[in-house]
Chain A
Amino acid sequence: MKNYLISPLKNQYKANMHSHSTCSDGKLTPEELKKAYKERGYSVFAFSDHITVREHNDLADESFLPLTSAELDVAQQGEECFNLRKAFHFNIISRDPEHFEQVKCLIKNFSLEYINEVIADAKSKNYFVTANHPNWSLFTEEDFLSLDGLDGFELYNCITANFGGALSFTPELYLYLLRNGKRIFSIGADDNHSFCLPFSHPQNDSFGGFTYILSDKLDYKSIINALDNGDMYCSMGPQFFEAYTQENELYIKTSEVKQIGVIGENGKASALNAVCGNTVNSFTADISDMGKFFVLHIVDTNGKHAMTRAFYKGEDF
């Protein structure tokens, strides 16, 4: 019997799960963002402006779904330049597009205990909570391990790479948290502010990191349901088309890439590599010895990655 991890029967809706508009410090209006992203094939868009949760339900149409959300942040205080101090930013996405409560978060109240309090408050108010740009936060593995209740983890964040200059893709941190018992889903996002750079500028922060959400329908309830079930994955470019297990084998079908890999909870890995200059698009792997879970990973010839959440033995396959 096939256990589908990524079903080819479901639609893959391209989503930007983190953005800023003129409602906070972004340069473009919500309408301009909708137009630009819709033109490039996006269907789901989290307007996560700072501090205040806002709904943009008037922008919804049959092929575009705005998510009611906000970005909250706390920052370590001190004399040092901000570049050297820890800060933690997290998105809260309302499970109800219209009825929501604000979540209070004081930026100067920097402590792991306080962050946990705010996350707990957000969850009690029916929000999906994601850790944003983990590497940018300057948090260590231990810092993240002490945070509870996170639903999503930005494996890639475009602005911190293109504008901030950081190496933003952080699979090692994600795997560390999974191996230490955290159940967190993988997210890719732009965190676009647009600032003073046009879309054509090499340091523009749009269209570089995204989440593919697997859902039958593009309505708010279905998309939130998909997020809650972990039916999504992070990408910077390549795409998973299908993945299923059958007994001890895993079958994966992808876009054209240079490597398709599976990494297990126990440190075992398996990969199919393309001959230099060529690509591959399907892989059958033995998953009899991957430990409690495995994640799927692909990288294309431009060095762009996509990575799934953890699929758990006894639950997902």
Chain B
Amino acid sequence: MSTPPTADGHVPTWEEVARTHGRFLYTLAYRLTGDHDDAQDLVQEVLLRVRRGLTTYQAGSLEGWLSRITTNAFLDEMRRRKRRPLHVVPDLPEPARGVATDPESEIARQRLPDEVQAALAALPPDYRAAVVLSDVVGYGYAEIAEALGIPIGTVRSRIHRGRAILREKLT
């Protein structure tokens, strides 16, 4: 999944990022924001940060680098909005009620991607960022801790609590 980074130390330009990783960036932005307008804004913000050299490029996967920028730009924006009325949180669809079975197969059988995305969008942003870095990007906890600048114990706890909320919403 990860692109070999610039072995020669070449820092990618924002145009290169947009051309080669646009879909990856957009997917990440959409999973974080849960909204196509916000995702487009976020992608542009990430490209702006790349263009302005506001982020230090480190050796490692290009996608990892972009994930860090994207997640932090997302959290910055969420903090900025905190003073305002909350933006719309998508309504969760009514869960389809079937015969209760074990939660694992129930979630696996009945949940559509849109429902999962809606549940994700309802998570507190800090939890969402940790869950997305873990389960969409595929980061390990140490990488998440570094990307978000939080202790690894906090990563553990945010992912656990985030998943607990998701489970509640999806079961």
- Check if A and B associate: no
Q: Point out residues on B near A: beta carbons under 8 Å.
A: none
